[in-house]
Each structure stands twice: as C-alpha cells, then as structure tokens.
Amino acid sequence: MSYYHYEVTDFLEDNDFRAWIYDPAPEKDLYWKDFLIRYPEKSEMISNAKSILLELKKDSENQFPTDQKVEDLLFNINSVKNKKRFFSIEIFSSSTALSIASAAMLILLLGWLIKPADNDKSITYEELISSAESPLNEKTNNSSKPLSFTLPDSSTVVLQPMSCISYCEDFEKNNKREIYLSGEAFFDVTKNPDRPFFVYSNELITKVLGTSFIVKAFDCEKQVEVEVKTGKVSVFTRNDPDAKLNQSNAELGGTIITPNQKVLFSREEIRIKKSLVESPEIIASSVLPAPMLKFQDKNVSQIFANLEQTYGIDIVYDEELFGSCLLTASFTNENLYDKIDLICKGIEANFEIVDARVVISGRGCHQE
C-alpha cells in the first residue's frame, strides 16, 4: 500500500499505523523506520498522528480506576451477582431500563433495611399494645426455633424467633379476633365469617375470614410483608380512610391477596405493593386441574392456562402473537419461574412480574 499521499487523518484511519503506535513490535518498527527513510517529508505527519493517538490513549488512561477500585468493584459484583434480585426473580428483558429498575429497587430495599426508623408516622408494636382497651396476653419467642401454639378460637400460630404477639384475654369479644404482632408469624385461621380475624402489625392491618398466611413485621424494618398460603386475605393501612369500615364489616376490602401472592408495605412511602411470593407453589386442591408435566406440540395458551389455574396466578400475554406457538417440553420439579423461563425460551419471549402478574412479551410465533 502506498502511504505517500497520506495526510494526518489518513494515518489515523490506518489500522496498521494504529497497531504500530498502540502495540509496538520490532517488525512493525522496522517497517515504519524504513518508510520514514524513504519519505522523510512525511515524518511530521506521522509524528502528529502519533501524538494524537497517544493523547487519546493517555486521556483514557488518566481516567482509569485504581487497582484498588477495580478490586472493590469486582468484590461488590461478586457479592451481589449470585443473589436473586428483588422478589427473587431473575428478569431479563432486552431493555436495560428494567435491569436498572431492579437494581434501583435492590438499593431501595437495602436502604430500608439500613436506615434507622425516623418516620414519625410509623407505629411500633409497643404503641399498638398500649392503645389496646383490654388486658392482653403476650407470647414471646426468644428461642432460636419457631414456636407454635393454639389460640382460644383454635386457630394456630407459628411464631418465629425474635417475635411476639399479643391478644385480648377475651379473644372473641366484639365479634372480632384481634392479634398484635411484632416480628414474623404464620397464621392458620379457623373459618368464622361472623368473627373476622385481624392482625395488627406496624401500620398495616391484615383481615381474614379463614385462611393461612404469614405476616413479617419487625419494628426495626422498613417494610411489612404479608404472604398468603391458602384462602383470601385483605390488607389495608391504618391510615386508610376506609380502615374503620373494613374493620367493622365482614367483607374483604383493601388490597386482596390470594395464594402465591404477597404484599409489601413500604413504611416510609406508606404504600402497598402487590407481588408474587418468592417461590410460588402449586395450590393443593381437589377441584383444580392437575399440573401438566409433559406436553407435545401443545398450544402455549393451554400451557399458560394450566399454570394459571394450578398456581392461582395471572399470566398476561398477547393471544394473537403467542396463540399459535406450539411447544414440546417436560417439567420435573422446576419452580414456577423456571417453568415460565423454559416456556419463554421455547417461544423466544421474555417475562417480567408486574403487580403480581406474569407478563410475557416477545415477537410471537408466526406460522410460515
């Protein structure tokens, strides 16, 4: 190649020239020295081009992080990368907005946990029980193992370590069953529509008629969580304008959650967010269809319908796009998200969890 007519910019554009500047090697030196001997008038251009390239390099290298920083970042990455994200789902979509959002959520979550309680609107367990009208029985679990016991109405409670509950000595008075909770507990409530069962935990009220569910509400933490195992639960905040009404009637108002769903209540934002539990389980029931484990050239909509019924969840997708997708696969003991992930791979789609629903997106299948 002839370099004779080259100008500075042409040298910059030249791959071989750049390779010589950025990655000098004796054989390249030889070539360019020979070139300069033959065309000494080009030396200035070469020198200028070289100086620009080296300046670009220097400019970039000036911004390099220190080795310590490189190590620190790697450490951070490694300590987070194998943890599942918020809500324990690995969501991936081609849009990075989502991943930024979930990273932001993770940071928010950490923020809640780390920041001390400073919101004067927050209500602690102590405040709750001191405002109770009648004398209370208290059960505290200071051991390291869950403590299980039966309430006067024969509902059962499994109280986790570092947690305590209180309830009226006269438990079923006023046609209400009321529990004050600090910490985490699982409740299996005997059905009695005439006497709704209330759990007061920080700023959140959980109301049920007969069902089983878990409440996690530690005074020191920034969020309260309610997870439903069976039945239906209604959740509302203390400062909900309808709270009084919800407390007095037998209907379930507020946010209703069903099995495999949970609500997270942010104590700072005073906001209830509905989501799916970390690992949804198949709902044991004699009336529901059996989960499908193997299918051959099955319509994707049928597979989704089966998942919806067996897990009691909503799957949202475009029937027109995915209705014609056929899938052959078999499940063993994958959890719900793995199953959906497998299906999505088969139909080249992505999924995300939005407000306790699984949303499928992608280009869909078109039959040729």
Partner 1 sequence: MTPNSIHTEDKLLWQTFKRGDEDAFTTLYQRYVRVLYAYGKKLIADEETVEDMVQDLFIDLWQSRARLADVESPKFYLFRSLRRRIHKHQTGKLQNIQCWENVEEGIHPVSFPKEYEMIEAESFQKQKDDLNLWLKNLPVRQYEVLMLKFYQDFNHEEIAEILSINEQSVRNLLQRAVLKLRQLTISLLFTGLFLFF
The nearer residue to partner 1, 44 or 242, going by C-beta atoms, is 44
Tell whether residue 81 is a contact of partner 1 (CB under 8 A).
yes
Tell whether residue 31 is a contact of partner 1 (CB under 8 A).
no
Contact between residue 196 and residue 176 where contact means Cβ atoms under 8 Å apart: yes
The nearer residue to partner 1, 46 or 321, going by C-beta atoms, is 46
Q: Which residues contact 239 (CB under 8 A, 6 or more apart)?
A: 121, 203, 270
97, HSE (Cβ side, Cα atoms, 13 Å): 2
The nearer residue to partner 1, 13 or 126, going by C-beta atoms, is 13
Span 304-363, contacts to partner 1 by CB under 8 A? 345
Contact between residue 359 and residue 352 where contact means Cβ atoms under 8 Å apart: yes
Nearest to residue 209, comparing CAs of 263, 158, 246, 169? 246
Tell whether residue 92 is a contact of partner 1 (CB under 8 A).
yes
- Judged by CB under 8 A, which stretch of 90-98, 159-167, 174-182, 270-278 contacts partner 1? 90-98
Q: How far is the CB of 281 from partner 1 (least distance, A)?
A: 24
Binding partner 1 by CB under 8 A: which of 52, 117, 305, 327?
A: 52
Binding partner 1 by CB under 8 A: which of 5, 37, 59, 144?
A: 59
310, HSE (Cβ side, Cα atoms, 13 Å): 16
Contact between residue 309 and residue 336 where contact means Cβ atoms under 8 Å apart: no
Determine the Cα–Cα distance for residues 69 and 4; give it in Å rounded to an integer: 46
Binding partner 1 by CB under 8 A: which of 24, 47, 111, 249?
A: 47
Nearest to residue 234, comparing CAs of 225, 246, 222? 246
Determine the Cα–Cα distance for residues 35 and 18; give it in Å rounded to an integer: 15
Tell whether residue 36 is a contact of partner 1 (CB under 8 A).
no
The nearer residue to partner 1, 69 or 271, going by C-beta atoms, is 69
Tell whether residue 48 is a contact of partner 1 (CB under 8 A).
yes
Q: What six digits make up the tokens of 194?
A: 């005439």
- Given the rule CB under 8 A, which residues bind partner 1? 7-9, 12-13, 15, 18-19, 22-23, 44-45, 47-48, 51-53, 55-57, 59-65, 69-70, 73-74, 76-77, 80-82, 85, 90, 92, 96-97, 99-100, 103, 345
